[in-house]
Structure 1
Amino acid sequence: MGSWGGRAARGFLRAVAVAAVTLPIPALWAAAAALGVLWGPANPWSWLLPVVLAGTGTLALARPVCRAVRFLVERWTGTVVPAGYRTAGPVTRMSTGYWWNGYGYERSRRDALMDQSWRTWWSDPATWRDLRFAVTVPFTAGLAALLPPAVAVSAVYGLLRPEPAARLVGATAAVAAVAASPYAWRLVEPVAVRFLGPSGAMLLAERVDELTAQRADVTVAQAAEIRRIERDLHDGAQAGLVALGLSLATAEKLMEADPERARALMRAARAGAASSLAELRDLVRGINPPLLNERGLVDAVRALALNSPLDVAVGTDGPFRLEPPVESAVYFGVAELLTNAAKHAGAATVRITVGHSETGVVVEVLDDGRGGAAEGSGGGLAGLRRRLAVFDGTLELTSPVGGPTRATIMVPCELL
């Protein structure tokens, strides 16, 4: 009985909350209509002000109502209804002094932001979806949620009347209010999921924008990697090979005049050739480790663990192979997380779990460091997230202050 009473009380409060969130727009319409009636039919423009108030008020209240409904649904049921709102791009000052906001030029940054905000809101399909939902939900979930409080008011009114019949009706209404309370608010979830989520066209447009950003990130990363390779070749192996050529040319000239010195130069040239070869191998290994190509992700991660200064344990479901680009992205992701654990977290031990599911590969890196890891806009974690996003992969990071830090890499793919 106590459990039922608690459910009824909780349901009644939720029904009141849903009614309070979903019914302001019909209340606004009723107030506008009453204003038109009070203004009087004799005035031929008496309809204009109520229509303007109802229209502008509905537009202004639509998005707050939808946000409140999403919050309540997620809080009570755990169902997340994506908003799908279009985000505005950056505002850039041009060499002419004008500000470009993606739509046009303005004289000041403030004007550019205001114009951009208005244009983005007006052209966003989510604005009109919110408007449609805000007009629809009062007559579906709003009416259902209004039933318990309305019946409760009737019950109080009837029980306070002296007539026996009125009291009987009040008692019956009280029972009906208690019985309906646990269920009256629940209609808001299916209605929100059906009408408030982003449409297929909105999801497609969002995906196109995401892929465009990913393509830009990949292009920038490729250019940076090419510059790194060129710099390493120029400063390392190329300089060593140039010195090797000079040493051999000098030795050739001294071969007859000073054979001992020529032999010393050739010994130095041989050592320089070995050093240049080692630099080239390190450079190639930085592009893609040979062990990763030859034996796959699991063995490459084990080799990475052996070379780490930390106490690293690797657990796995067994050796398996993936597409080479996916293996490379996951491998360098694990390398980035190990570097962070050693360099920033002050960890002593790390546990790496490499596994696969029906949908793809899952790698978990758990360290006992100080925690508090945060993803900066230009940091290694942000770069790792962009690298994984190319393959629709994700990075989930949990790092409370004091540790431990748990990072989970998930990439959808098929096993070879």
Structure 2
Amino acid sequence: MLVPAVWAAAVLLAIRWGAGNPWTWVPVLLLAGGGALGLSRPVCRMFRHLVARWTGTKVPAGYRQAAPVVRLSTGHWWNGFSYERTRRDALLDQRWRLRLRDPANWRDLRFTAIAPVTAGPVAAVPPAGLAVAVLGFGLGFARPSPALLAIGALGLVVAVAGAPYAWRVAEPVAVRFLRPSPAMALADRVDELTAQRADTTVAQAAEIRRIERDLHDGAQARLVGLGLSLATAEKLMETDPERARALMREARAAAAGSLSELRELVQGINPPVLNDRGLVDAVRALALDSALEAEVSAAGVPPHLDPPIESALYFSIAELVTNAVKHARATRARIFIGRAIEGSDLVVDVEDDGRGGAGVRPGGGLDGLRRRLAVFDGTLEITSPAGGPTRVRMVVPCELS
């Protein structure tokens, strides 16, 4: 209703200025075009929200996400399109380029022109019936007229009877004209998979470096010392048996220490309890070791899931608990693992009593969690008002038996 109002204001302005004014068309076009372009995104966001709330159908927006603005060694800022001297100029240039080049914006603009002549007339039936009822009853009682009263009653019936059905046309219109095209969805999926591949490569390289560093600094030094002790004990076996036995005892203790260190080393890859007892027990063990007072509950989760899904969810929960302690200053947390009400999706809810204000920022930790779950077509939803509490819901498609 906002966009037609802008168009009507432009027409009224043209009528007021008169057709004889040669410059009438300039402000008219600026008002009609600029107003429609500026209102297209908020109007379409509101429309998607209403359709999802009333019908349960979620229409993906498909907007292109802004890349992080990075400062280079030369002092210039790179925004994904061009180099700028200041961060402010880089953000401004990036915003306008996305605004003009994103096909989703032009799709929204097209929708603002289509919706008033498709969903608009049907949605206007109840308000129109109510207006007729008010006028009919008002005039019918002011000067008694059975015809006006009948018109008012008819308008009221139309308003009440049509209200439950007036917005049903919104769903097919939104699905048809607001969702991304198959080509755009495929391009977004390719970009997402490319980013996931890059993240996986970086994570694998970092994990390999961590293992190499820990082996070199810890386990390798212990094993070298163990070898020297055994060589010394072998030489002392005949001349000083007591000293040789003491060295053997030290070597045995060093071997036990090396084994324990190797076990701790591979915990960053997968905790033993996760491999042995599954996701729920691993999360309970994590809660016991956490600084938070954490409560873990589960319903309908089998002992073992697919190992990649178990690993991704476990480390996602571990990062959320760490963030709650480190950033949100929380003291309590509640973790629930179970099945979705409808379907076979696996749902994980993590809620803490921290100060809130958490959000997904490009390149941040929560953005990394979102990308980690996206590998399995999972989703991440965050509700974190200022002052808390923070609730994070992770949903992963998973066949549970």
Report the TM-score range of the alignment, normalised by the length of the smaller protein. Answer: 0.7 to 0.9
Separation in 1 of the partners of 2:371 and 2:88?
32
Task: Using the TM superposition, give the Cα deviation of residue 359 of structure 1 relative to its aligned residue in structure 2, in angstroms.
Answer: 5.6
Separation in 1 of the partners of 2:294 and 2:90?
54
Q: SS of the residue aligned with 2:346?
A: strand
Q: Does 1:326 align with 2:309?
A: yes
TM-score, normalising length: structure 2: 0.73
- Farther off after superposition, 225-234 or 145-154: 145-154
- The CA deviation string for residues 191-237 of structure 1, in whole angstroms up to 9 with x for no partner, is 33432333333333333333333333323332332232223222321
Separation in 2 of the partners of 1:401 and 1:46?
48
Contact 1:155 1:171 in 2 (8 A): no
Q: Does 1:282 align with 2:264?
A: yes
- Farther off after superposition, 315-324 or 21-30: 315-324
Task: Using the TM superposition, give the Cα deviation of residue 257 of structure 1 relative to its aligned residue in structure 2, in angstroms.
Answer: 4.9
Task: Using the TM superposition, give the Cα deviation of residue 65 of structure 1 relative to its aligned residue in structure 2, in angstroms.
Answer: 3.4
Tell me the equivalent position of 2:64: 86
Separation in 1 of the partners of 2:65 and 2:229?
61
Q: SS of the residue aligned with 1:277?
A: helix
Q: How do 1:274-353 residues align onto structure 2 when only pairs under 5 Å count?
A: 274-290=256-272, 292-293=274-275, 297=278, 301=282, 304=285, 317=300, 319=302, 321-333=304-316, 345-347=330-332
- Farther off after superposition, 245-254 or 329-338: 329-338
Q: Does 1:239 align with 2:239?
A: no
Tell me the equivalent position of 2:83: 105
Identity of matched residues, %: 55
Residue among 357, 365, 376 paired with 1:391:
376
Q: How do 1:20-35 residues align onto structure 2 when only pairs under 5 Å count?
A: 20-31=1-12, 33-34=14-15
1:131/1:168 CA distance change after superposition, 3 Å: farther
Task: Using the TM superposition, give the Cα deviation of residue 325 of structure 1 relative to its aligned residue in structure 2, in angstroms.
Answer: 1.8
Task: Using the TM superposition, give the Cα deviation of residue 318 of structure 1 relative to its aligned residue in structure 2, in angstroms.
Answer: 7.4
Task: Using the TM superposition, give the Cα deviation of residue 125 of structure 1 relative to its aligned residue in structure 2, in angstroms.
Answer: 1.1
Q: Does 1:186 align with 2:164?
A: no
> What is the root-mean-square deviation in Å for CA atoms of aligned residues?
4.7
Tell me the equivalent position of 1:13: none
Task: Using the TM superposition, give the Cα deviation of residue 72 of structure 1 relative to its aligned residue in structure 2, in angstroms.
Answer: 5.0
- Farther off after superposition, 82-91 or 146-155: 146-155
- Farther off after superposition, 211-220 or 237-246: 211-220
Task: Using the TM superposition, give the Cα deviation of residue 277 of structure 1 relative to its aligned residue in structure 2, in angstroms.
Answer: 1.9
Separation in 2 of the partners of 1:399 and 1:128?
31
Unaligned 5+ residue runs, structure 2?
A: none
Q: Does 1:119 align with 2:97?
A: yes
Task: Name the amino acid aligned to 2:20.
Answer: G
Task: Using the TM superposition, give the Cα deviation of residue 129 of structure 1 relative to its aligned residue in structure 2, in angstroms.
Answer: 1.1
Q: Does 1:215 align with 2:200?
A: no
Task: Using the TM superposition, give the Cα deviation of residue 272 of structure 1 relative to its aligned residue in structure 2, in angstroms.
Answer: 0.9
Contact 2:340 2:346 in 1 (8 A): yes
Tell me the equivalent position of 2:396: 411
Separation in 2 of the partners of 1:136 and 1:236?
67
Tell me the equivalent position of 1:265: 247
Q: SS of the residue aligned with 1:23?
A: helix
Separation in 2 of the partners of 1:200 and 1:288?
38
Contact 1:248 1:266 in 2 (8 A): yes
Q: SS of the residue aligned with 1:203?
A: helix
Separation in 2 of the partners of 1:395 and 1:387?
10
Unaligned 5+ residue runs, structure 1?
A: 1-19
1:253/1:154 CA distance change after superposition, 3 Å: closer
Task: Using the TM superposition, give the Cα deviation of residue 178 of structure 1 relative to its aligned residue in structure 2, in angstroms.
Answer: 2.1
TM-score, normalising length: structure 1: 0.71
1:67/1:29 CA distance change after superposition, 3 Å: farther
Task: Name the amino acid aligned to 1:189.
Answer: A
Task: Using the TM superposition, give the Cα deviation of residue 27 of structure 1 relative to its aligned residue in structure 2, in angstroms.
Answer: 0.8
Separation in 2 of the partners of 1:163 and 1:373?
57
Task: Using the TM superposition, give the Cα deviation of residue 412 of structure 1 relative to its aligned residue in structure 2, in angstroms.
Answer: 1.8
- Farther off after superposition, 196-205 or 356-365: 356-365
Contact 1:364 1:406 in 2 (8 A): no
Task: Name the amino acid aligned to 2:378.
Answer: G
- The CA deviation string for residues 48-73 of structure 1, in whole angstroms up to 9 with x for no partner, is 66445543443334334334444555
Q: How do 1:347-362 residues align onto structure 2 when only pairs under 5 Å count?
A: 347=332, 360=344, 362=346
Residue among 97, 114, 135 paired with 1:156:
135
1:149/1:304 CA distance change after superposition, 3 Å: closer
Task: Using the TM superposition, give the Cα deviation of residue 123 of structure 1 relative to its aligned residue in structure 2, in angstroms.
Answer: 0.9
1:241/1:360 CA distance change after superposition, 3 Å: farther
Task: Name the amino acid aligned to 1:109.
Answer: R
1:67/1:318 CA distance change after superposition, 3 Å: closer
1:176/1:208 CA distance change after superposition, 3 Å: farther
Task: Using the TM superposition, give the Cα deviation of residue 241 of structure 1 relative to its aligned residue in structure 2, in angstroms.
Answer: 0.9
Tell me the equivalent position of 1:8: none
Task: Using the TM superposition, give the Cα deviation of residue 188 of structure 1 relative to its aligned residue in structure 2, in angstroms.
Answer: 6.1
Q: SS of the residue aligned with 1:186?
A: coil
Tell me the equivalent position of 1:16: none
Residue among 9, 20, 27 paired with 1:40:
20
Q: SS of the residue aligned with 2:167?
A: helix
Separation in 2 of the partners of 1:252 and 1:155?
107
- Farther off after superposition, 238-247 or 330-339: 330-339
Q: Could you say which structure has the greater relative contact order, defined with CA pairs below 8 angstroms and 6 or more residues apart?
A: 1
Tell me the equivalent position of 1:250: 232
Task: Name the amino acid aligned to 2:270.
Answer: N
Separation in 1 of the partners of 2:260 and 2:10?
79
- Farther off after superposition, 379-388 or 60-69: 379-388
1:213/1:143 CA distance change after superposition, 3 Å: same
Separation in 1 of the partners of 2:304 and 2:106?
47
Residue among 103, 106, 109 paired with 1:131:
109
Separation in 2 of the partners of 1:111 and 1:339?
35
1:100/1:396 CA distance change after superposition, 3 Å: closer
1:257/1:380 CA distance change after superposition, 3 Å: farther
